[in-house]
């Protein structure tokens, strides 16, 4: 909504802090901090980091800086590398699936957050996709910082007026634990039209 109104990049600052302080805004676990970054990223925003681990003499990173102590910084550096290797990330299907961001028809990040699915049935919104579009998929463990390629190439086939599926009806196996994501990139085949109407219209 903010992007549509102001037509500028949006920074989602003050997502609270990873830390051990008594204040409720400085008690995030590293996993929760990383989760909020990924959720913000696929929503098309830039998220700000903060850390508040109590130290002697009340010296904390959020004030003068210093050494980061939390579990999130390494995982956020991992996310940054993924972002640097991506086009501009925009919501793909914000009316029906806010987990998906990217560039329609070319690049997708699907973030499952706290969900623990064991598989994902290949299905993408119609924008930018056509019969025969070829896509390569990788499974990303956002906490474990691993990227695992999925064997083979997925080839899009129109399912209905809104979505495309894999022509062989394949799914992607997932590990059944939280904080997993998929990176999907077009590697060949035709591209489809980009609709100027919101999904579902």
Kindly state whether residues 110 and 184 are assigned to the same domain. Answer: yes
CA distance 181 to 97: 14
**In a shared domain, residues 18 and 32:** yes
Q: In this structure, are 46 and 80 located in the same domain?
A: yes
Domain CATH number, residue 139: 2.60.40.3950
Residue 184 lies in a domain: yes
For residue 114, give its domain range: 90-188
Q: What is the pLDDT of residue 143?
A: 98
CA distances from residue 170 to 119, 148, 165, 198 in whole angstroms, order as listed: 10, 17, 8, 27
171 token code pair: 């799914």
Q: Are residues 57 and 97 in the same domain?
A: no
Is 201 a domain residue?
A: no
Ranges of residues in the chain whose predicted pLDDT is under 50: 198, 200-201
**198: in domain:** no
Model pLDDT, residue 17: 92
Total domain count, the chain: 2
Picking from 65, 84, 103, the residue at the C-terminal end of a domain is 84
Instruction: List the structure tokens of 144.
Output: 């474990």
Q: What's residue 127's pLDDT?
A: 94
Return d(Cα 7, Cα 130) in angstroms, integer. Answer: 29
Per-residue pLDDT, 13: 85
Using an 8 Å Cβ cutoff, are 150 and 172 in contact?
Answer: yes
- 195 lies in some domain: no
Q: Tell me: do 101 and 177 sit in the same domain.
A: yes
């Amino acid at each position: 909504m903010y992007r549509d109104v102001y037509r500028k990049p949006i920074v989602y600052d003050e997502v609270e802090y990873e830390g051990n302080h008594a204040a409720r805004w400085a008690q995030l676990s590293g996993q929760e901090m990383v989760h909020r970054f990924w959720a913000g990223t696929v929503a098309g925003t830039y998220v700000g980091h903060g850390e508040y681990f109590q130290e002697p003499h009340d010296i904390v990173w959020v004030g003068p800086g210093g050494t980061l102590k939390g579990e999130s910084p390494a995982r956020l550096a991992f996310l940054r590398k993924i972002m640097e290797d991506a086009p501009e990330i925009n919501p793909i299907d914000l009316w029906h699936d806010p987990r998906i961001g990217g560039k329609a028809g070319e690049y997708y990040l699907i973030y499952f957050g706290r969900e623990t699915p064991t598989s994902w049935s290949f299905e993408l919104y119609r924008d930018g996709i056509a019969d025969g579009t070829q896509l390569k998929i990788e499974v990303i463990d956002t906490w474990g910082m691993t990227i695992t390629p999925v064997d083979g190439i997925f080839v899009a086939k129109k399912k209905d007026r809104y979505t495309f599926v894999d022509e062989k009806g394949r799914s992607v196996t997932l590990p059944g634990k939280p904080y997993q994501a998929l990176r999907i990139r077009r590697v060949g085949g035709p591209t489809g039209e980009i609709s100027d109407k919101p999904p579902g219209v």
